[in-house]
Structure 1
Amino acid sequence: MRRWGHTDDPLLMAVGILSAKWILRIMSVLTQGPARFSGSRAAIPAVSANILTARLRDLEEAGIICKEMLPPPANCQVYALTDLGEAARPVLVAIEQWASCFADAEYRRGQAVKDSGAASHSRSAS
């Protein structure tokens, strides 16, 4: 947790962890169940392999995820949420719901601006 700074304020520490780019997206992917690196990468195509590796390490260092080895025949390494990571599930769900509402509101606001611009343009052309 060294990377997240030293603070006595748990809220600031949590914000420091969760606000790093791609962290919420990675955690969201892992709420669906353990995932291999390649599965996480496929689920988040915009993140580079280097950044994904760094963020997975950050989450592991913070105790939010862990690496597990699957037994043969799979015999591969997967990332999974720890109990601490699972405890964040309701927070992730709430953020995703809020983000959806926010995106809808932004879209409606953009449409209203676009519509009002078109209306004023048509009035000035008359």
Structure 2
Amino acid sequence: MENQTKSAEKPNMHEEMRRAFSLLSGKWKLEIMWLLNQRVYRFGELRKAIGGITQHMLTAQLRELENDGLITRTVFAEVPPRVEYEMTEKARALGPTMQALMQWWSEYGDSVPVKPNPRGRTALQRERQPLKP
């Protein structure tokens, strides 16, 4: 029986990619990252920019992104308090991936069927409305 340590083992790329995907998987994370790739946002601006997201969900997704080192949260000692969110350098390295996705969408987006947005507050309101005869 050979004595091998984990460091000597070859990395399992499937597992490594699963870890990478988990950083950006979440109901709203990619949309948040897309916006923050454009500029620095305040909490209220993000909430307005992302239709259908609740305050609770935005807070949860931002906390996860911050804990993973993909965004920074800066609190300014002002009255009323001001909080800004910005991408970290680590997250900015995803820029080429976002550009590639944008290019792919420009080429193939028209061929993707349009689906109603089943997420968030507006979707819940649609579900609760009685059907018209």
Asked if Structure 1 and Structure 2 have the same fold, meaning a TM-score greater than 0.5 normalized by the shorter chain, the answer is yes
Structure 1 vs Structure 2: percent identity of aligned residues? 33
Task: Return the match for 1:15 from 7, 13, 21.
Answer: 21
- For 1:92, the equivalent position in structure 2 comes to 98
Does the aligned pair in 2 maintain the 1:68–1:79 contact within 8 Å?
Answer: yes
State whether structure 2 residue 63 is matched by structure 1 residue 57.
Answer: yes
Q: How far off its partner does 1:36 sit? A: 0.4
Q: 1:46 to 1:97 in 2, by over 3 A?
A: farther
Task: Report the CA distance between 1:93 and its aligned residue.
Answer: 2.1
Greater displacement, 32-41 / 66-75: 66-75
Mind listing any 5+ residue stretches in structure 1 that lack a counterpart? 1-6, 108-126
Q: 1:24·1:92 contact (CA, 8 Å) conserved in 2? A: no
Cα offset, 1:95, TM superposition: 2.0
Correspondence for 2:37: 31
CA distance in 1, matches of 2:80, 2:101: 34
Change (3 A) 1:71 1:96: farther
User: Deviation of residue 88 (structure 1)?
Assistant: 1.1
- The one of 35, 40, 46 equivalent to 1:40 is 46
Secondary structure of the structure 2 residue equivalent to 1:47: coil
Alpha-carbon distance between aligned partners in 1 of 2:97 and 2:56, rounded to the nearest angstrom? 27
Q: Which structure's residues are more often helix, by fraction? A: 1
Q: Is the 8 A contact 1:69 1:76 kept in 2?
A: yes
Counterpart for residue 131 of structure 2: none
Question: Larger Rg: 1 or 2?
Answer: 1
Give the structure, 1 or 2, with the largest relative contact order (CA under 8 Å, sep 6 or more): 2
Count of matched residue positions in the alignment of Structure 1 and Structure 2? 101
- TM-score (norm: length of structure 1): 0.68
Structure 1 stretches of 4+ with a deviation exceeding 4 A read 70-75
Long gaps (5+) in structure 2: 1-11, 114-133
Bigger mean CA deviation after superposition, 59-68 or 70-79: 70-79
Deviation at 1:97, TM superposition (A): 2.9
Per-residue CA deviation, residues 7-36 of structure 1 (Å, 9 max, x unaligned), is 983311111122211111000110111110
TM-score, normalised to structure 2, is: 0.65
Superposition RMSD on alpha carbons, in Å?
2.4
